[in-house]
């Protein structure tokens, strides 16, 4: 059995829970409740994922734990929105375009994707982009820009400046996959998981009723 684990920072959002408990990912992800996050919890995991709709005020109060985790050479993934109270970058909201695929489903509103990144390598345009939640108007000088929108604004970036690897995107693969409104996100999330801990998930994404107290 795989012994590598990804800590998924959790604040009660059901889509975060659904993703971590889905059959495909449940042996690879562990929910870490943000208001109880401490050093002992982080010592149990090998990588961290901070999903969209996280409580960034609570994360900011524990930012020393986050940066110490990076300093130990580990990997962290941040999706969706963020806060300059703990992340050394500036995020700004933008309207969410959920309709581009109706007009031209094979050409998302991106001007650039660096497909040399392990997650994006061999992904189609639709697999590497669906919509985004805001942009980064300022990123660290040492950041590698992976994706930009059609206006040239930063969507995805990465840095190794803090000891480990920090990958940040305004895409929301974890939350969207948990919601299951977009059904082709296995491609992205499987590669994300592999990037974080070196393990490619197998099997089918299923949400089991018993994980929600339902007996059938």
Residue 203 burial by CB count (10 A; 0-12/13-18/19+): exposed, middle or buried? exposed
In a domain, 1, yes or no: no
In a domain, 187, yes or no: yes
CATH of the domain at 148: 3.40.50.880
In a domain, 45, yes or no: yes
Q: Which helix (DSSP H) or strand (DSSP E) does residue 30 occupy?
A: strand 29-33
In a domain, 113, yes or no: yes
Tell me whether strands 110-113 and 6-10 are parallel, antiparallel or unpaired.
Answer: unpaired
pLDDT tens per residue across span 145-186 = 999 999 999 999 999 999 999 999 999 999 999 999 888 999
In a domain, 31, yes or no: yes
Q: How far apart are the C-alpha atoms of 71 and 73, rounded to whole Å?
A: 5
Q: Which domain holds residue 192?
A: 6-212
pTM across the whole model? 0.95
pLDDT tens per residue across span 51-105 = 999 999 999 999 999 999 999 999 999 999 999 999 999 999 999 988 888 888 8
In a domain, 86, yes or no: yes
């Amino acid at each position: 059995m795989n012994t590598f684990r990804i800590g998924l920072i959790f604040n009660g959002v059901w889509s975060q829970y659904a993703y971590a408990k889905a059959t495909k990912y449940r042996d690879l992800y562990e929910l870490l409740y943000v208001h109880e996050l401490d050093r002992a919890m982080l010592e149990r995991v090998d990588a961290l994922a901070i999903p969209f709709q996280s409580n960034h005020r609570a994360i900011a109060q524990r930012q020393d734990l986050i940066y110490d985790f990076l300093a130990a050479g580990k990997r962290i993934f941040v999706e969706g929105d963020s806060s300059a109270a703990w992340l050394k970058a500036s995020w700004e909201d933008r309207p969410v375009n959920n309709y581009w695929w109706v007009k031209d489903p094979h050409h998302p509103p991106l001007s650039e994707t660096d497909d040399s990144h392990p997650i994006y390598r061999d992904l189609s345009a639709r697999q590497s982009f669906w919509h985004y939640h805001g942009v980064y108007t300022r990123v660290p000088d040492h950041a590698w820009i992976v994706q930009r929108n059609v206006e040239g604004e930063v969507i995805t970036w990465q840095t190794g400046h803090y000891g480990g690897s920090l990958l940040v995107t305004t895409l929301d693969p974890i939350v969207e996959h948990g919601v299951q409104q977009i059904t082709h996100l296995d491609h992205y999330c499987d590669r994300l998981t592999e990037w974080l801990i070196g393990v490619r998930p197998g099997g089918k994404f299923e949400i089991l009723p018993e994980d929600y107290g339902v007996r059938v």
